[in-house]
Structure 1
Amino acid sequence: MTTTFIKTVYKLVVLAVLSMLGFLFAPEAHAHEVEPTIGDLTVADGQAELTLRINLEAFIAGIDLDSISDTNDAENAAGYDALRAMSGEDIRQRTPALLDMWNDLPLLSVDGVPVQLESQSMRVPEDVDIELSRVSEWVLRGEVADAAQHVTLSWPEGAGAMVLRQQGVDAPFTGYLAGGETSPEISVAGGGAMSASEALVSYIPVGFDHILPQGLDHILFVLGLFLLSTRWGPLLWQVTAFTLAHTVTLALGAMGWVTIPGSIVEPLIAASIVYVAVENIFMRGLSTWRPLIVFGFGLLHGLGFASVLGEFGLPEGQFIPALIGFNVGVELGQLTVIAMAAALIWLSVRAANAAKIDGEEGAVRSYPVMFRAVSVTGSLLIAIIGAWWVVERVFL
Structure 2
Amino acid sequence: MTPTILRFAATSLFVFVSGLLASAGAHEIRPAIADLYLEQGELRLEIRLNLEAIVADIEPGLANTTESVNAARYEALRAMPPEDLLAAFDKAAFANSIFAVLDGTPLPIEVVETSAGPVGDIALLRDSSVTLRADLPASGGLTVGWDAGFGPLVLRLMNEGSDYSVYLEPGMTTDMLPVDGAIQQSFGEVFFSYISVGFKHILPLGIDHVLFVIGLFLLSTRFSPLLWQISAFTVAHTITLALGLFGVVQVSAAIVEPLIALSIAYVAIENVIFSKLTRWRPALIFGFGLLHGLGFAGVLQEFGLSEGNEVAGLLGFNVGVEIGQITVVALCFLAVGIWFGRKPWYRAAITIPASLAIAIMGLYWFVERTFLA
- Partner Cα distance (2:89, 2:109) in 1: 13
Q: Secondary structure at the match of 2:167?
A: strand
- Aligned partner of 2:8 in structure 1 is 11
- Aligned partner of 1:361 in structure 2 is none
Q: Do the aligned partners of 2:219 and 2:275 also contact (CA within 8 Å) in 1?
A: yes
- Aligned partner of 1:56 in structure 2 is 51
Tell me the amino acid that sits aligned with residue 25 of structure 2. Answer: H
- 1:285 and 2:261 correspond: no
- Partner Cα distance (2:170, 2:274) in 1: 45
Pick aligned residue for 1:387 from 331, 339, 363: 363
- Partner Cα distance (1:11, 1:391) in 2: 31
Change (3 A) 1:155 1:268: same
TM-superposed deviation, 1:308: 0.8
Q: Do the aligned partners of 2:221 and 2:337 also contact (CA within 8 Å) in 1?
A: no
Tell me the amino acid that sits aligned with residue 188 of structure 2. Answer: S
TM-superposed deviation, 1:184: 1.2
- Aligned partner of 2:111 in structure 1 is 119
Tell me the amino acid that sits aligned with residue 161 of structure 1. Answer: P
Structure-1-length-normalised TM-score: 0.89
Q: Do the aligned partners of 1:173 and 1:190 also contact (CA within 8 Å) in 2?
A: no
TM-superposed deviation, 1:122: 1.2
- Aligned partner of 1:128 in structure 2 is 120
- Aligned partner of 2:87 in structure 1 is 93
Residue identity (%): 45
Gaps of 5+ in 1: 350-364
TM-superposed deviation, 1:200: 0.6
Give the aligned length.
371
TM-superposed deviation, 1:9: 5.1
- Aligned partner of 1:138 in structure 2 is 130
Pick aligned residue for 2:35 from 20, 24, 40: 40
- Partner Cα distance (2:50, 2:98) in 1: 20
- Partner Cα distance (1:264, 1:287) in 2: 27
- Partner Cα distance (1:116, 1:277) in 2: 54
How far does the alpha carbon of each residue in 1:293-338 deviate from its partner, in whole angstroms, 9 at most, with x for none?
A: 1101100000000011111111321211110000000001111111
- 1:375 and 2:351 correspond: yes
- Aligned partner of 2:62 in structure 1 is 68
- Partner Cα distance (2:250, 2:195) in 1: 23
Gaps of 5+ in 2: none
- Partner Cα distance (1:366, 1:205) in 2: 31
Change (3 A) 1:252 1:99: farther
How far does the alpha carbon of each residue in 1:347-385 deviate from its partner, in whole angstroms, 9 at most, with x for none?
A: 8x4xxxxxxxxxxxxxxx664436423111111111111
Structure possessing the higher radius of gyration over alpha carbons:
1
Aligned-residue Cα RMSD (Å) equals: 1.9
Tell me the amino acid that sits aligned with residue 93 of structure 2. Answer: D
- Aligned partner of 2:207 in structure 1 is 216
- Partner Cα distance (2:18, 2:271) in 1: 16
Pick aligned residue for 2:20 from 19, 23, 39: 23
- Partner Cα distance (1:115, 1:94) in 2: 25
- Partner Cα distance (1:107, 1:257) in 2: 38
How far does the alpha carbon of each residue in 1:205-255 deviate from its partner, in whole angstroms, 9 at most, with x for none?
A: 100111111111111111111111222111111011000000000000000
Structure-2-length-normalised TM-score: 0.94
TM-superposed deviation, 1:160: 1.2
- Aligned partner of 1:156 in structure 2 is 147
**Pairing of 1:169-248 with structure 2 (within 5 A):** 169-248=160-239
Tell me the amino acid that sits aligned with residue 125 of structure 1. Answer: G
How far does the alpha carbon of each residue in 1:42-92 deviate from its partner, in whole angstroms, 9 at most, with x for none?
A: 111211000000111111111112x20211111111111122222222222
